[in-house]
């Protein structure tokens, strides 16, 4: 007696359909977790590259050999977990961390330093930022620059362009609003923080 006779054609089709759905579901689960694993491994490699940068600041330490970016600073809002700022704000580098906008002042230099990041990952902490919060920015020499948030502005990038200003401040930029499925909308949250004098060094 063949398989069709034992199960019936309808039962056999249901069995095959169920097996196929389970297989597809399993593949989706593995793929989603693989992306998460890759993201976590990338952060470990970036942190290691940052430690190398602190040890030998005169060299560029890429997190992996084919990366076209490297860490240039460590950024922290209050007591939240720090994030590592990458050397570029290109689309590729922003997938792995916030990026320094090269048209702005260099990290650690006086002037306006601008850093961009994604709202749903490395800059998600900005949704809890408030006026007068302190932000620290550690440069490759281990010098910690401290800033205090002075303004938080929602800007429509389709109507207005953020221009460089002659001020000694840190500007953090991310998409807005948070916690939505909208991608690449025109609104931006622009957090500006003025430098305050709190000199210290951090080699971690």
pTM: 0.80
- Confidence class for position 34, pLDDT limits 50, 70, 90: low
* Residue 95: pLDDT over 70: yes
- Confidence class for position 187, pLDDT limits 50, 70, 90: very high
Q: Find the angle CA(40)-CA(140)-CA(135) to the nearest 5 degrees.
A: 75
Structure tokens given for 118: 């994604």
Q: What is the mean pLDDT of residues 80-92?
A: 93
Cβ distance 96 to 57 under 8 Å? no
Q: What is the mean pLDDT of residues 24-42?
A: 60
Q: What is the mean pLDDT of residues 75-89?
A: 95
For the chain, list the domains and their CATH numbers: 42-201 (2.40.260.10)
Q: What pLDDT is recorded for position 30?
A: 46
**Per-residue pLDDT tens digits for 39-77:** 678 889 999 999 999 999 999 999 999 999 999 999 999
């Amino acid at each position: 007696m063949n398989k069709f006779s034992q199960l019936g054609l309808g039962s056999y089709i249901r069995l095959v359909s169920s097996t196929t759905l389970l297989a597809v579901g399993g593949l989706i689960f593995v793929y989603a977790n693989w992306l998460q694993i890759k993201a976590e491994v990338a952060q470990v490699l970036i942190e290691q590259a940052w430690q190398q940068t602190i040890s030998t600041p005169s060299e560029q330490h890429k997190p992996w050999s084919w990366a076209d970016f490297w860490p240039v600073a460590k950024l922290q809002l209050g007591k939240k977990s720090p994030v590592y700022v990458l050397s570029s704000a290109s689309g590729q580098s922003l997938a792995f961390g916030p990026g320094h906008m090269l048209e702005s002042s260099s990290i650690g230099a006086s002037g306006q330093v601008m850093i961009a990041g994604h709202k749903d990952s490395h800059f998600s902490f900005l949704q809890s930022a408030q006026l007068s919060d302190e932000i620290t920015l550690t440069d490759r020499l281990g010098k910690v620059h401290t800033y205090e948030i002075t303004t938080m502005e929602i800007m429509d990038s389709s109507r207005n362009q953020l221009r460089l200003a002659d001020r000694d401040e840190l500007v953090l930029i991310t998409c807005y609003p948070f916690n939505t499925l909208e991608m690449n909308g025109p609104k931006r949250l622009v957090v500006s923080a003025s430098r305050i004098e709190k000199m210290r060094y951090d080699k971690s």
